[in-house]
Amino acid sequence: MNKKILAVLVMAAAAGLGLALSQRYFGESTTSVPAPRLQAATVIDAPRALPAFSLQTAGGTLSAENLKGSWTLVFIGFTHCPDICPTTLTEMAQAQAIWAKSDLPNKPKLLFLSIDPERHSPEALAEFAAFFNKDTLTATAQEPQLGEFTRALGLVYMKVPQGDTYTMDHSATLVLLNPNAEFAGIIRPPLNPQAIAQDLLTLSKNPL
């Protein structure tokens, strides 16, 4: 992995997303309802609707309708990822185990979105994610749909040549979608699985 390019990419994404969030969502609030106390997640005051999308899955397609009804965390990555992706999926599996034990009817979800559809099928992507946790949703898309969807989430990625092959540099931030499948916030690394699990349970029990 080209560490210099990755550092610039992550810094730019963090700065751009942070600026956008602060300017668009963390200005003067018109709501009088206090937000739930959270440990890891940053939730915006005014959730933002996403453009219509249709992603490819092992079982067909995934759209906003499939994500409605529960809180969802979206993480982008790829199956050939040497470090960030397996680490994040391992950490999130701990949070998912906590969610699985809850008595909530609509438990939080994790969506792993592949940014490298060239090197694996939706079926291979699902198999990869299931190694960490069988409940993880998986999806991908071809360009330009993939780029349009990730940009709507405030996430970035780029292909980086690596000898006779390539790797993918990408955002490590998790995006939070509310039960209306709207952009509702972010969780930045380093990740604390227990704090993330509790935050999503708190949000699920206390609708904004």
Whichever domain contains 183, its CATH number is 3.40.30.10
Give me the domain span that covers residue 12: 3-28+39-205
Residue 93 lies in a domain: yes
* Residue 202: other Cβ atoms inside 10 A: 15
Residue 187 lies in a domain: yes
Phi, psi of 200 (to 5 degrees): -70, -35
pTM here is 0.84
Residue 110 lies in a domain: yes
Structure letter (DSSP) for residue 122:
H
Residue 34 lies in a domain: no
Residue 33 lies in a domain: no
pLDDT tens series, the chain, 208 aa: 554 444 444 444 444 444 444 444 434 444 445 667 999 999 999 999 999 999 999 999 999 999 999 999 999 999 999 999 999 999 999 999 999 999 999 999 999 999 999 998 999 999 999 999 999 999 999 999 999 999 999 999 999 999 999 999 999 999 999 999 999 999 999 999 999 999 999 999 987 6
- What is the rounded CA–CA span in Å between residue 197 and residue 191? 11
Domain count, the chain: 1
Note whether 65 and 54 are within 8 A (CB).
no
Residue 16 has what pLDDT?
Answer: 46
